[in-house]
């Protein structure tokens, strides 16, 4: 077991890393963050911020020397970086698990090979693959295999010609072509798995997106209990087959009453932010525990919760002028907790913060959260 006051290493300095740093600090650890951005949200509160690229081997050597174990919050950390660090210190999750989750071709192929539920898709590496793709896939979504997030690197395509066009627009990079599913709803399961194979699942969350970016998570998800149970089983099976150690997020589509895995995130997940305020143990504490070889904590929710993301457009008024949103509106609500990430500059679509409303009555929590969402200025007419 790695015990306090050991120093832990975090690759990536975004908000997920920032919450990891906070959790680790509360538990008595020190944290070094590696992120090239001098203003990274996690770097700002870390005991040490190594501002260097993920493939800067001198910086990696420093991390290996200074940290008792290393984890990541950023799925695009090169697998070679994780492999390199693993020669010197424990690294969780492993390079091989991250490699599957960071590439949509590898991810979809993993699901297919393991008999896990997924939607119809084709791997696209060249024009011929588009020409040969099953007609039944259209209308479809073409997604670049690597580096897409928050709906970036995706194009909705009605037919083969549009798919070819989008493939060229993406520079001929490897892609997956997914059938556009008619979604009843979207949900996610966040879990933690330790080195001995013990798994603790948080209750499933129900997610809604705007412009391809997570907007609201409702926990517990308003779905049939059997579906929630099935989602947990599938998420657990994924973690086991990846021999995953750490916190893992699995996104699902519910379509025609059936469950399909959309994608996996080898890190805490945006839809698990509510665990900070509504669960006995948060997804970030679990990440610390799994990394350090401590027994995992109880994931039980003590409250119903609704989480609302605060995106950069909120920082612009109707005239397009930059200004801070009026936080007093949210602070007036006693069962609401506001989390801001201290990002340097707000851009539209950028995740700047979130709030979580908790309470006993799930319907009341949802009503309060949606009122707060409107009051702070999030409008649905921009769909
Ligand atoms: P990201 O990495 O940006 O989260 P996703 O693949 O999860 O990428 O896609 C973002 C969102 O776009 C999904 O949560 C869903 O709302 C929508 N979407 C993606 N793929 C499909 C699909 N095959 N059918 C229907 N909706 C989809
Ligand atoms: Mg997603």
The pLDDT of residue 147 is 84
Tell me how far the alpha carbon of residue 183 lies from the centroid of ligand 2, in angstroms: 14
Other CB atoms within 10 Å distance of the CB of residue 288: 30
The pLDDT of residue 381 is 67
How much is the average pLDDT of 193-199? 98
Ligand 1, residues 147, 253, 266: which to mutate, most atoms within 8 A of Cβ?
Answer: 253
Cα–Cα dist 368/381, whole Å: 20
Cα–Cα dist 58/72, whole Å: 18
Tell me how far the alpha carbon of residue 212 lies from the centroid of ligand 1, in angstroms: 6
The pLDDT of residue 156 is 96
Closest atom of ligand 1 to 180 CA is 24
Helix (H) or strand (E) holding 328: helix 328-331
147 Cβ closer than 6 Å to some ligand 1 atom: no
The pLDDT of residue 376 is 98
| Nearest-CA residue for atom 13 of ligand 1 | 212
- φ and ψ of 41, to 5 deg: -55, -40
Give yes or no for a cis peptide into 139 (omega within 30° of 0).
yes
How much is the average pLDDT of 100-110? 97
178-216 burial: b if 16+ Cβ within 10 Å, else e? bbebeeebbbbbbbbbbeeeebbbbbbbbbeebeebbbb
Banded pLDDT at 349 (limits 50, 70, 90): very high
The pLDDT of residue 303 is 98
Tell me how far the alpha carbon of residue 374 lies from the centroid of ligand 2, in angstroms: 24
| Nearest-CA residue for atom 21 of ligand 1 | 180
Residue 70 pairs in a beta bridge with 9, 91
pTM (2 d.p.): 0.96
pLDDT at 185 over 50: yes
Banded pLDDT at 151 (limits 50, 70, 90): confident
């Amino acid at each position: 077991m790695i015990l306090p006051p050991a120093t832990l290493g975090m690759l990536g300095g975004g908000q997920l890393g920032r919450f990891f740093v906070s959790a680790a600090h509360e538990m008595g650890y020190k944290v070094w963050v590696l992120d090239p951005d001098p203003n990274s949200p996690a770097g700002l509160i870390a005991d040490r911020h190594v501002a260097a690229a993920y493939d800067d081997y001198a910086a990696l050597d420093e991390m290996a020397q200074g940290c008792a174990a290393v984890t990541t919050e950023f799925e695009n950390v090169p697998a070679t970086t994780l492999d390199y660090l693993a020669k010197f210190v424990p690294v969780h999750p492993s390079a091989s698990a991250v490699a599957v989750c960071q590439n949509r071709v590898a991810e979809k192929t993993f699901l297919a090979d393991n008999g896990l539920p997924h939607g119809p898709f084709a791997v696209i590496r060249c024009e011929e693959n588009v020409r040969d793709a099953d007609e039944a896939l259209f209308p479809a979504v073409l997604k670049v295999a690597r580096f897409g997030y928050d709906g970036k690197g995706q194009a909705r395509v009605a037919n083969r010609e549009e798919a070819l066009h989008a493939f060229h627009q993406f520079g001929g990079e490897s892609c997956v072509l997914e059938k556009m599913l008619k979604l009843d709803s979207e949900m996610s399961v966040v879990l933690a798995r330790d080195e001995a194979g013990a798994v603790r699942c948080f209750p499933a969350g129900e997610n809604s997106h705007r412009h391809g970016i997570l907007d609201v998570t409702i926990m517990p998800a308003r779905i049939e209990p059997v579906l929630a149970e099935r989602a947990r089983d599938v998420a657990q099976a994924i973690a086991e087959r990846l021999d995953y150690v750490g916190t893992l997020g699995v996104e699902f589509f519910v379509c025609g009453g059936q469950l399909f895995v959309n994608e996996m995130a080898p890190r805490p997940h945006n839809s698990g932010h509510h665990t900070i305020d509504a669960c006995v143990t948060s997804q970030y504490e679990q990440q610390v525990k799994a990394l350090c070889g401590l027994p995992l904590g109880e994931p039980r929710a003590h409250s119903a919760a609704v989480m609302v993301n605060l995106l950069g457009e909120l920082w612009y008024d109707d005239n397009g002028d930059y200004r801070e949103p009026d936080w007093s509106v949210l602070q007036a609500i006693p069962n609401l907790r506001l989390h801001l990430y201290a990002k340097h500059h707000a851009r539209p679509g950028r995740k700047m913060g979130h709030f979580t409303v908790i309470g006993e009555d799930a319907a009341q929590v949802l009503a309060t959260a949606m009122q707060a969402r409107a009051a702070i200025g999030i409008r649905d007419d921009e769909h």
